[in-house]
Amino acid sequence: MMRIGMLTSGGDCQSLNATMRGVAKALYRLFDDIEIVGFEDGYKGLIYSEYRVMNPEEFSGILTKGGTILGTSRQPFKLMRTPDENGLDKVEAMKHTYRKLKLECLVVLGGNGSQKTANLLSEEGLNVVSLPKTIDNDLWGTDITFGFQSAVNVATNAIDCIHTTAASHGRVFIVEVMGHKVGWLTLYAGIAGGADIILLPEIPYDLDVVVEALKSRSKNGKKFSIIAVAEGAISKENAKLSKRELKEKKKNGVVYPSVAYEIGAQITERTGQEVRVTVPGHMQRGGEPCPYDRVLSTRLGAEAAKLMQDKEYGYMVAVDNNEVVKIPLVKVAGKLKTVDPECSIVKEAKMIGISFGDE
């Protein structure tokens, strides 16, 4: 019997179940005698040997179900080599569980931190195949990750809903979109939702430029404005500071719930305009996967199963020019795919008048 381990790690997203389904359905067709072991709550289940043997019926009816039937948790990569409170060596514990269950391969569905741990286990001698999950679309080596388009749909809908109330009251609305380090989600949702200003972590903003863009809209008879702000958006002034200097500045300054509230307060102070902040938050991770993600998840899952059939381990399945390919985990681990300020989509957005607060 061939035995495969599977886990979902890190932040959840809408397409984890759809992707597991794709992997499982392909495996059941490719192998006559196979058993899938599901680890509960991500790497935590692998560390502490918390698992269950899954049956084919568990993978039916979950294509449209958000979240993950296995549960997930965050196990920071930087702490993987640090023993737990009982002195347990987590890496050795994961290797022990893998070997105790006589797994042929471990399938990992996760984002940046999860891929780093997957690569670590691969380098430790385990057979690993991974799949690219994150609503941030920031995994290096793949054009797109599953979960991204579904999150774009949710964030765009939030901006769409804001349009009517913003227009009715003639206010400035700020919609804060997820994305601490990378702004793909904010960029796509901002463009799709018709935001007037988009602020990203990769493009430090000048508040004077933001204010000027708002004043320009007012002069042109526009009674309202919508700003899409990534969680990690940063001013040009703060971008010049070291992490320590920035931490000290925030410690000694006014404490805001998030960057969106800080920007809102600054805009009101400079313009007198009424500003409202909306934070969709974890709604962007929730709900059912969109049709695009269902198709993507199915394709990625099937190709992951093919890698296992061919005994090709140490790879992440990825998308390159709409084709599903494999890429060595060692090339993926620790790398972020950020928004290039000079990329075509940013230039095109600027061509239609969207301000990024930088010029």
* Residues carrying an active site annotation: 136
Q: Which token pair is 108?
A: 């990992």
Provide Rg for the chain, Cα atoms. 22
Q: Tell me the C-alpha distance between 12 and 133, whole Å.
A: 9
Of 142, 346, 356, the residue nearest 130 (C-alpha): 142
SS3 at position 232: coil
Q: Which two tokens stand for residue 295?
A: 């198709």
With beta carbons less than 8 A apart as the criterion, state whether 224 and 169 touch. Answer: yes
Which SS3 state, helix, strand or coil, does residue 314 take?
Answer: coil
What is the DSSP code (8-state) at residue 288? P
* CA 114/CA 80 separation, integer angstroms: 11
- Phi–psi pair at 234, nearest 5 degrees: -140, 145
The two tokens of residue 29 are: 């067709």
DSSP letter string over 106-131?
Answer: EEEEE-HHHHHHHHHHHHTT--EEEE
β-strands 315-320, 2-8 pairing: unpaired
Instruction: Find the angle CA(135)-CA(141)-CA(143) to the nearest 5 degrees.
Output: 55
Is the Cβ–Cβ distance between 61 and 21 less than 8 Å?
A: no
